[in-house]
Structure 1
């Protein structure tokens, strides 16, 4: 049983429980501490992604190159952050709506629950829990749930992020590269030529032309940028003169 944790910004309720979908499709309930070893990056969502007439949010499925499967999202904001997780080289697995966190709300005396938007497994084995919400849409009740979720994550050694709107230019650049994330764009001979060309930094289109016919080379170039085998500054708009080089040389 977990008691209040000093230094975490206020009282923490006595019991955390975690609910998730088990291997056979039934709900599993366990303590927070016992859930720390669950591979949440592999679980199914604890709730669905409904679609209905006059809906104000835009749910859907994202094909993840990290997992090789579809991952759900409930809004375009969630989709953008899911895309960025898929793009991040440190992320080895992703699941949406991975678990319910249950706790006793001391202010109201009621049992509360919250399902974070994403759980990501990092390459070094650590867990990352992500909630997506624009700053201007966080109501006091939501803020309390996010704060408690952050405290719970800290107890079991997971990183917690509450994220709002991402940087626009970065998102647009990554969204373009995401169109080439599928392995079908990995052509070994073209990739080898591109890595050789960009061993020294060069403008994107100049390097594509040096590696072969641009119309055939560019999809492979964008795929290698997505995979992190080539690199450029994605904080500025991607264009024909963008300087590209092999990863780690920027």
Structure 2
């Protein structure tokens, strides 16, 4: 069995280039000149091996993506939070971490973004996750060049450089119930959404759904919040007084 390695850095030869691996770890390449040039870019495996360094914390692992029901690797807790947010906000049909090696015409710079995914609406989105306080000038340049490349080829680029604790806590709260096992049946879904339209806050919704089985409907409520069928402000602390807005 051949040893699995990352994509090796090579000169750009005067053009921005994308290299990626298919499901069998075969490397493919495409010039990033316009939307037509990247139509066949379909990364299925990471372009590089997990990073390792001295004093490394145990913050690497796999996130279970509810949209695709697949495992996605992350290399930091910020990446984990970003994956939760993407899974919650977008209708993802395909996703891979460390998806491709970008080689930029400028100074033959190389960059491996953190996440690439496609949405049900047909968007191709490339994501970088990097703390703004730790971003060097060289890294900022790579993010700028990545954004320029994405604009040229018709992709969307997102850079997450900070995650407020409140946003992370809210995502983790809902994320406990993002698995389909918590999805209510049609009758319970209609009941919950009907009551949600009648009340204004989470606490009022919980009280209105109260039964002789404490918390009976709460897993389904949080699942519907994760699905964005019931919405609230992710950036504010969650409590009984949190306003809710059924979609």
Alignment of structure 1 residues 1-250 onto 2, 5 Å: 14-33=14-33, 36-38=38-40, 40=42, 43-49=44-50, 54-56=55-57, 58-89=59-90, 91-106=92-107, 111-188=108-185, 189-213=187-211, 214-247=214-247
In 1, are the aligned partners of 2:20 and 2:41 still within 8 Å (CA)? no
Query: Aligned partners of 1:99, 1:151: CA distance in 2, in Å?
Result: 16
Runs of 4+ residues deviating >4 angstroms? 50-53
Pairwise CA RMSD = 2.4
Q: What 5-or-longer segments of structure 1 have no aligned partner?
A: 1-11
- Give 1:90 deviation, angstroms: 5.0
Query: Aligned partners of 1:140, 1:244: CA distance in 2, in Å?
Result: 41
Structure-1 residue corresponding to 2:5: none
- Normalising by the residue count of structure 1, what TM-score does the alignment of the two structures yield? 0.82
- Give 1:99 deviation, angstroms: 0.7
- Give 1:43 deviation, angstroms: 1.6
Structure-1 residue corresponding to 2:4: none
Aligned length: 231
Query: Aligned partners of 1:178, 1:153: CA distance in 2, in Å?
Result: 30
Query: Aligned partners of 2:13, 2:131: CA distance in 1, in Å?
Result: 27
Query: Aligned partners of 2:223, 2:78: CA distance in 1, in Å?
Result: 23
SS of 1:191's partner is helix
When residues 94 and 22 of structure 1 are mapped into structure 2, their CA distance, relative to the original with a 3 A threshold, is closer
In 2, are the aligned partners of 1:93 and 1:122 still within 8 Å (CA)? yes
- Normalising by the residue count of structure 2, what TM-score does the alignment of the two structures yield? 0.83
